[in-house]
Amino acid sequence: MKNILAYSLLLILTSSCNQNDFSDTEMYFLTDKASYRVNDNFEITVIVSPRSGEKKIRIKKNLDNLKISFHTTSTELGFSQELKKHFIEGPSLTTDESEYIDEFTISKTEPFKKTFKGLISESKESIILEIHELNIIDSVAKSELLVNPKITIKGNFHTIFSAKEEYFTPKDIEILIK
């Protein structure tokens, strides 16, 4: 009897984690422009689409399972911003998760889309990118952008109840400071 119960619980946990991932999806960013200047507003749209058919994805309402980072292409290290550290745990067997998690059924014709608005500003030695909704305030040295004005936007979604991550196709933009 214990073995049957253990196998049943394992099956429930495994199936709930598998329904919750971003495997077999195409994930990419769209921006409203290819190049920006200081004091420009910008938009980054997150797109998640299944490779075929329909798929259910779950995203935390506070977007805690989304990470976005910005990297200069003139250096290997660049700079990055992680939205929030996440604590990985199993699904609750007693609480209603809908308070914290949104479930979306996506298809090729109706992918998940979310647009974030931001601002590019400057300080004496840095260019600052801000996306208030995601609590991102990040900067890069002006000297790096003078060498090469390209910045690569990278990101990933991790599944709600596991450490599995699926990555977005990186997107390049330019920030012109001259």
CATH number for 122: 2.60.40.1930
Contact 28, 168 (CB under 8 A): yes
User: What token pair was written down for 44?
Assistant: 């980054």
Q: What is the mean pLDDT of residues 116-122?
A: 95
b/e sequence 80-90, b meaning 16+ C-beta within 10 Å: ebebeeeeeee
Q: What is the DSSP letter of 169?
A: B
pLDDT in tens, 46-68: 999 999 999 999 999 998 888 88
Contact 47, 106 (CB under 8 A): no
Contact 79, 156 (CB under 8 A): no
- pLDDT, averaged across the chain: 80
Alpha carbons 41 and 155: distance in angstroms, whole number: 20
- The total of structural domains in the chain comes to 1
Contact 119, 130 (CB under 8 A): yes
pLDDT in tens, 9-36: 555 555 544 554 788 899 999 999 999 9
Q: Please give the sequence-ordered ranges of beta strands (E in DSSP) within 15-170, or none if there are none.
A: 25-31, 35-37, 41-50, 54-60, 66-72, 101-107, 112-122, 126-131, 136-141, 150-158, 165-167
pLDDT in tens, 127-158: 998 988 988 888 888 989 999 999 999 999 98
Q: Which of 159, 176, 177, 157 is nearest to 167 (CA)?
A: 157
> What's the whole-model pTM score?
0.76
Residues of the domain holding 86: 2-176
- Is a pLDDT exceeding 70 seen at residue 7? no
